[in-house]
Structure 1
């Protein structure tokens, strides 16, 4: 089965998982019990949790597509790194629901940040597999360094957010949100060349 796998099939399978996770997030939303705007506003922890998680999945999805453009073959290591990445993302609906129900209590927010840490760690593994093993002519050395520094820096920040959240949950969540800004554009602005022939759409 591993020999028949292709980057295109792997990317299509991953797209399906991301789509399901977004659907699960939506299904977790519940309307307020009272038909008033005050009751709706009282659910702000739920809406905030959902909005951050939706943005997070969208950013991870975009970055995943960017990485998969450099896959020339679906090696066993790529398959397992990708499955590990999808597993970490699959924890997001659970952590989101717990954080929302608890109204941003310290331990649920810390767990939420820890999920971000795990997602970023598995993304770093994918980056190593797909970017750093790609011939240097296709990706400028400076772009490689920027991607490595960005991944390691945000990994440390997510870890710090999980610790900080145990004492200051809003601050920990804020750190997570700030880290997402660095991944809004998957491709570093210093990249000089685009891969040809393997771009996924």
Structure 2
């Protein structure tokens, strides 16, 4: 008999997907053909691509855990939004490998930035389902507004990065990296402060 889906099982399944993605990403790394540091340094596009993608997966994973704590029930819409989010992040190893092999050529970097855009778009959908759509969510309207502004702002920047990368790939990649900084801490600056005030009252 099939078990009923719960937020805990959904989170566990998602963790497994993230773990597989990190493994696949690491398997794409190849040592240089010559046994010299010069040959190793020549692979800097590969190392840079891997480092950014690893950081991206780590940030997405952390933010996914932050959102899932608001889930009280695994609804049908939550399941599909979560699958869409996992699908978008599953494209990262492919785009990373293409960007690394091309040595940061314009179109692969633009595709890479487009994947960032897609991941952020599905994250917004997941946040809407778990936080913004539910009036009983454990966040104030101000915190929800900050989360919304941050998500939409970075979404726009990822879109700009994809376009800019077609002409200036390193600039486009740099924009993506800067956007990731905004998600290093999943919760907005005032969220924890408000939780502490609520607990005291």
Q: Does TM, normalized by the shorter one, top 0.5?
A: yes
Indicate the structure whose relative CO is greater, using CA pairs within 8 Å and at least 6 residues apart: 1
| Range with bigger deviation, 19-28 or 1-10 | 1-10
State the partner residue of 2:161: 161
Q: What TM-score does the superposition give when structure 2 sets the normalisation length?
A: 0.94
Rounded to whole Å, the distance in 1 between the matches of 2:156 and 2:2 is 33
Residues 121 and 189 (structure 1 numbering): CA distance in 2 closer, same or farther, change over 3 Å?
same
1:118 counterpart residue number: 118
SS at match of 2:158: helix
Determine the C-alpha separation between the residues in 2 that align with 1:151 and 1:27.
Answer: 31
Partner of residue 20, structure 1: 20
Q: Is 1:148 the counterpart of 2:151 in the alignment?
A: no
Unmatched tracts of structure 1, length 5 or more: 195-201
Asked if the contact 2:66/2:186 (under 8 Å) is kept, the reply is yes
1:88 aligns to 2:78 (yes or no): no
Partners of 1:89 and 1:119 within 8 A in 2: yes
Q: Does 1:11 align with 2:11?
A: yes
RMSD: 1.6
Q: What's 1:132 paired with? A: 132
- 1:134 deviation in Å? 3.2
When normalised by structure 1's length, the TM-score is 0.94
Give the deviation of 1:140 after TM superposition: 1.3
Deviation at 1:135, TM superposition (A): 3.1
1:188 aligns to 2:182 (yes or no): no
Cα distance in 2 for residues equivalent to 1:110 and 1:88: 15
Question: Does the aligned pair in 1 maintain the 2:70–2:138 contact within 8 Å?
Answer: no
Q: 1:131 to 1:2 in 2, by over 3 A?
A: farther
Unaligned runs of 5+ in 2: 197-201
